[in-house]
Structure 1
């Protein structure tokens, strides 16, 4: 069968799996404030105002459960994805996720009550967990070192596009009378999954997964197709093939493959780094902004169409500000990008907390417009400053933690365990996504503006954690990264402190452009090891 060999085309198709996550986020954020949703899923006795029902929708804790259901399913899907990926391959694991997504969309679109909606969202989440864990693994294993950050980061860009597109679809459908206002956008979510499944048919399998299965001819053919432009003797193809073969032989002689290996002395440090990369990306509070932005802007005095349009601006900012990271993240490096992002986000979070504490006041009992999560009121110029700080927070996340949180974890682990390791890291993302999605509506009710303080403290902690513990991986081959954490005999060791590790982008770019003989290769490998030591 004919296969696509262009790296950007391969990545563009694969990251549609990330777009599914984005679609799911805004399929709730644009709908939870609409009359159709509030009336259909209203809980408790109806109240009337001027003869019209005053629909309040689900209670705060129930709405948190509905929103968090997707993240709960994603946690389980991410954990299972390691087994799917190792057994079926990276490509077919993603295709399985696309099929499961369509099943979930059917249930969500046809939902008759809150319980059915939650079940459908759990199934959707299971799909997102598989795709979000294995798409970065697939792309990182097929991309060259100088483009790996850019290509894996496309997953985050696809998420931002999914969020924006689905928000505007939902916004347009909000003018439809009756339940079609939310059934149509929920049904349309199937389209990207169908495109993903069809597109993946024409993509090659990961050459590193093929190598692990002893399918060496196919591995070489994929490297030739993607990196050699049809030339099997291309210097870069030869180098990659030899490094993959050497790493596979070493791994077979020195290690078994199980989740327990991630807890062994030689792996526990990088496991903790990968897991916390995903945990911190959630504890920034970004997805809270995505899910509940309409609550926040309603508290700042926006309502009706003005509320939805103003909320949608952050989705546009998210898309646009991800682009600089895609272009330059490999040159910037992982560490500086994460550190700058954490510093900027804590500034905007503490700014919002200060503004709300100084110029706002509590909403009447029951919340604004009968929605108890809208528990605080701020008006006038300070409310405009809250909206501006929210936009700046989104921009800061989009250009830093957004893409790098997907790029960094797959780079940390050796081939034999990469699928399971990234599955575990991504499952941590979804576990905290679930907790935060469920926590925030009741938190707005109970502690109000102090929610911003909590996330500001998290951003401060993540800045310190990254500075002292996260080594630089940019510009290194996946085989070279192994030498940051192990000595030449494969034994764990404490090398150079994380803050002294360097970006190897320039060296990797040179080696990618020109071939080099075995002696130069050994010298380059030694240089990398000494840099990491």
Structure 2
């Protein structure tokens, strides 16, 4: 029962994905606005961060606790997503983002600001997890990478807007100039909450809960008529099996095929975070300051960097479905590592000198770096995570992947100010060495899920007993993947990892 060729979605599907991407933008803005906030003289003065001896520690905590909030927050997503629906999980996440953003903007002391950074991180990372779950489940196989990658492009748009809003308010000579950019993070989440009642629920969630008529209607609204009928039969048949399967976090560690998926998931997200992307983003002004640039120049360079990132995120839409997922991500990580090697060499040799050409080259390396990251990594990772897991554990699998992002960033962001202060350029080695290993591992050994219907991915991991038998012939036709090096012998219950 093969899927149709060509375009499988209709324009309503695209419109709904774009509306849902306001949640992605909300995450991007929330995660990035701290970079310009920490460069705002009014913010530093209000909280005495320009004079107090523990300022470096407090700044590290502001960044680190955001990630801690995200780590704990994402594990609630599966509860809402599996019990009340994918839209419910997104709605709760957006509501937390709105409330925490408002209270951050209204903070009256540093303790209050730090506390609501925790809740802001929880809401933002919950959205980061919940939105691609929904996107993966409402998009068809052939176009899934392109449509899910809109999530990546939208969060980059949020990053870019945060940079330029922060730059604009830097020039506002008012004691409360730092508050408005923080409050602005509420806007995309409010827009998402307004759109949410009109957006279709995931057909896979509906069929998992035996709501067949709603699921059929939603599929016909979202996909071309021929593809909708094929998917309805596939998903309906597979859900009859999935509803009987265990779905706890424990079984994801205990069962070998689920454990393999989980390790692949963590390998991708943790491997990509070895690139050091959030350190460069959140401490961008600090890094540019170390190269001798003033505050206004720092904010312009950060804004330019994030604008390029958004452009490359849009370019990724045309790339993501044309290459093997592991090949694309592995190549992206290795490209980032080459940039960081050159960056480390330039910083080691020329920081503190008057060689403006070399210092400009160091800035240029950050710009080349972001091209590799955004074209190959940011959006494609979320398509891959959603494809790895079957419907009954997809929300939990996405939670684990995003929790891996949080965990890595807790380590990097908490350590970064002290590390740059004490060991300087050598801190880049903490990314270069493990990042190179991760990039090679993903490129050479991870299985490819590009273009495979979600209901047929189980066969790649040897779960033929969990796969509806009607898919057998199509699965065999699609399992020669990753340039023949990881051929999947389903009949012998082998896997190519």
TM over 0.5: yes
1:438 equivalenced with 2:414 (yes/no): yes
Distance 2:259 2:142 in 1: 27
1:25-104 equivalent positions in 2, closer than 5 A = 25-43=31-49, 55=51, 59-104=55-100
Q: Is the 8 A contact 2:201 2:218 kept in 1?
A: yes
Cα offset, 1:57, TM superposition: 8.8
Task: Tell me the equivalent position of 1:390.
Answer: 366
Task: Tell me the equivalent position of 1:258.
Answer: 248
Task: Tell me the equivalent position of 1:272.
Answer: 263
1:412 equivalenced with 2:388 (yes/no): yes
Q: TM-score scaled to structure 1, two decimals?
A: 0.85
Task: Tell me the equivalent position of 2:28.
Answer: 22
Task: Tell me the equivalent position of 1:138.
Answer: 134
Pairing partner for 1:282 from 269, 273, 279 = 273
Cα offset, 1:215, TM superposition: 0.5
- Partner SS state of residue 429, structure 1: helix
Q: Is the 8 A contact 1:41 1:58 kept in 2?
A: no
Distance 1:378 1:88 in 2: 60
1:225-264 equivalent positions in 2, closer than 5 A = 225-228=221-224, 234-253=225-244, 255-263=245-253, 264=255
Cα offset, 1:252, TM superposition: 3.2
Distance 1:20 1:185 in 2: 13
1:107 equivalenced with 2:98 (yes/no): no
Cα offset, 1:196, TM superposition: 0.6
Task: Tell me the equivalent position of 2:351.
Answer: 360
Task: Tell me the equivalent position of 1:300.
Answer: 291
Task: Tell me the equivalent position of 2:477.
Answer: 527
CA RMSD of aligned residues (A): 2.0
Q: How many residues align?
A: 472
Q: Is the 8 A contact 1:173 1:182 kept in 2?
A: yes
Task: Tell me the equivalent position of 2:18.
Answer: 12
Cα offset, 1:395, TM superposition: 1.2
Q: Is the 8 A contact 2:64 2:410 kept in 1?
A: yes
Distance 2:20 2:193 in 1: 9
- Gaps spanning 5+ residues in structure 1: where? 44-53, 229-233, 362-376, 492-517
Deviations 1:13-68 (A, max 9, x none): 1122121221123311112122101111225xxxxxxxxxx657962221011122
1:110-509 equivalent positions in 2, closer than 5 A = 110-228=106-224, 234-253=225-244, 255-263=245-253, 264-361=255-352, 379-490=355-466
Distance 1:349 1:398 in 2: 15
Distance 2:274 2:13 in 1: 32
- Partner SS state of residue 221, structure 2: helix
Cα offset, 1:529, TM superposition: 4.6
Moved more, 110-119 or 430-439: 430-439
Q: Is the 8 A contact 1:346 1:456 kept in 2?
A: yes
Distance 1:69 1:152 in 2: 28
Distance 2:275 2:85 in 1: 32
Counterparts in 2 of 1:134 and 1:162: CA distance versus 1, 3 Å: same
- Partner SS state of residue 284, structure 1: coil
Distance 2:154 2:40 in 1: 26
Any runs of at least 4 consecutive aligned residues in structure 1 with deviations exceeding 4 A, and if so which?
54-58
Task: Tell me the equivalent position of 1:494.
Answer: none
Q: Is the 8 A contact 2:39 2:295 kept in 1?
A: no
Distance 2:440 2:321 in 1: 22
Counterparts in 2 of 1:423 and 1:444: CA distance versus 1, 3 Å: same
Distance 2:32 2:443 in 1: 33
Q: Is the 8 A contact 2:66 2:122 kept in 1?
A: yes
- Partner SS state of residue 73, structure 2: helix
Q: Is the 8 A contact 1:38 1:57 kept in 2?
A: no
Q: Is the 8 A contact 1:223 1:237 kept in 2?
A: yes
Task: Tell me the equivalent position of 2:5.
Answer: none
Cα offset, 1:488, TM superposition: 2.8
Distance 2:381 2:479 in 1: 25
Q: Is the 8 A contact 1:273 1:469 kept in 2?
A: no
Distance 1:444 1:6 in 2: 48
Deviations 1:235-265 (A, max 9, x none): 3222111111121122234x21211121121
Moved more, 244-253 or 103-112: 244-253
Cα offset, 1:435, TM superposition: 2.0
- Partner SS state of residue 179, structure 1: coil
Counterparts in 2 of 1:459 and 1:331: CA distance versus 1, 3 Å: same
